[in-house]
Amino acid sequence: MPSLILVLGDQLSLSMSSLKDANPESDIVLMAEVMEEATYVGHHKKKLAFVFSAMRHFAHELEKKGFSVRYVHLTDKNNQGALRAEVSRAIEDLSDVEKLIVTKPGEWRLLADMEDWPDLFDVEVELRDDTRFIATLDDFSDWAADRKQLRMEYFYREMRRKTGLLMDGDEPAGGEWNYDQENRKRLPNSKQTPQRWFCEPDDITQEVMDLVEDQFPDNFGRLRPFNYGVTQKQAEAARDAFISDILPGFGDYQDAMAQEEPWMWHSILSLYLNVGLLDPLDLCKRAEAEWREGRAPLNAVEGFVRQILGWREYVRGLYWYKGPEYKNSNFLNAQNDMPEFYWTGETDMACMSDAIQQTIEHAYAHHIQRLMVTGNFALLTGIHPDQVNNWYMRVYADAYEWVELPNTHGMALFADGGVIASKPYAASANYINKMSDYCGNCRYNHKGRVEDDACPFNALYWNFLIRNQDVLQTNPRMGLVLKNVERLSDDDRKQIQARAASLMKSFGMC
């Protein structure tokens, strides 16, 4: 008797646990484009086009392997609009199906729904673990048990030991676990950023783009031009181009930002990883081989491996370990509304404008722009975490809640009170000026604090410290900074608070 195998839009890998023992001669694969998934947040147009096109290409790959694929297009007449309803319709139409097989989804909301399916359908329902990650959820739980602090650095070291990546026996390669201190160079004016691998959309992608324009005309972002890969072969081409041509410079300029330079030396591979078109362990091994063979420096390779083996695995484990209540925390009691320029990029702050404009254009911004520009501004101005989390979910092609929420809620906003970060990542214009050329092209003075032309980040930074002084007093990493707050005169405080209030009003936030 055949099984029905449901493959989700971010499970586009032949190595999925749901497909591991599938029989192409009898089993049927169900893939469905449904409005419920397309609209639970207002996804960037490029993300919708990427996922729908990747799904359709993967369905063709399965058919080439001999599978019978029941593919439901978004505009099909009988499309029920939800995964549960499409599964029900498939079971009813395919009366001889005896089992439904699904790899567990990556988000709480979907898993909660699927856990009810055994009581809803007249077939056996098997929910299998997602085996695409390097660490299992049990691995993370075992590591986290009885720890007072769940710091990524120590999880990363454990993963290095487990996998042997960048290890020389029992010691880290080069004698250090982390080469972050070497990865903080500002981009010199004379330095040219590398060319990127992109591809032209084929007929399937063009058809999907027309669909997105028709069905989601008001969604965030610019759809055309569209140059991302949508198949495993194309994702591997992007991977190979990065590994051979770009990885050697990744470390030095990992934290650098530059006007109208959206890519820098970053890999732009996370959107492929997060839908299953690339394998994380394979990617780490390929990067390690570049160092072993002398083609890339250790600081570049270690920094890249840490993003995948460290951060990516860590935030996924933390997401499931903490559970749905994690996103309800609001440690700093942030209550303000997000300003309109997050959606338009229309602001005189050069750094914010550039980061948002490239997000509109590419559904992408690299991690320092997300953390230290748009995330930092949200932290300093006290935007409610729900609004910030929603924005990050909507605007990036690689955004799925398991990876977005811990990074945004914990790392950028400190809304979890220090579960992820040991202190708030609050910064003034000094950091942005140090790591970018934004300030030289901005109408604001990055050195000013309360003057009319002073960079907003400065008054907002000091106002953030004043506003949260009491709640951050016990944080050991904030002691030196808060001593500087204590040294402020009453007049200085009043001027900072007045300037911050004026700025917030001008942004439409109060």
- DSSP per-residue letters across 256-273: ---TT-S-TT----HHHH
Categorize the per-residue pLDDT at 17 as very low, low, confident or very high, splitting at 50, 70 and 90: very high
Q: Is the model's pLDDT at 510 over the cut of 80?
A: no
Categorize the per-residue pLDDT at 449 as very low, low, confident or very high, splitting at 50, 70 and 90: very high
Within 8 A by CB and 6+ apart from 155, the residues are 140, 143, 310, 313, 314, 317
- The distance of Cα 289 from the centroid of its chain, to the nearest Å, equals 26
* pLDDT, tens only, 385-405: 999 999 999 999 999 999 999
Categorize the per-residue pLDDT at 112 as very low, low, confident or very high, splitting at 50, 70 and 90: very high
Domains contained in the chain, CATH given: 3-128 (3.40.50.620), 137-203+232-322 (1.25.40.80), 341-506 (1.10.579.10)
Record the tokens describing residue 502, joined without a space: 């004026």
Which range, of 187-201, 230-244, 489-503, averages the lowest pLDDT? 187-201
Tell me the average pLDDT across 25-29: 96
Tell me the average pLDDT across 412-434: 97
Q: Which residues pair with 212 in a beta bridge?
A: none
> Quick count: other Cβ atoms within 10 Å of Cβ 292?
14
- The CA–CA distances, whole Å, from 398 to 50, 88, 359, 401 equal 10, 29, 12, 10
pLDDT of residue 330: 98
pLDDT of residue 352: 98
pLDDT of residue 191: 84
Q: Helix, strand, or coil here: 136?
A: coil
Q: How far apart are CA 366 and CA 146, in angstroms?
A: 34
> Quick count: other Cβ atoms within 10 Å of Cβ 64?
8
- To the nearest whole percent, how much of the chain has pLDDT over 90? 97
Categorize the per-residue pLDDT at 408 as very low, low, confident or very high, splitting at 50, 70 and 90: very high
pTM of the entire predicted model = 0.96
Q: How far apart are CA 205 and CA 37, in angstroms?
A: 19
* pLDDT, tens only, 212-228: 999 999 999 999 999 99
- The distance of Cα 81 from the centroid of its chain, to the nearest Å, equals 26
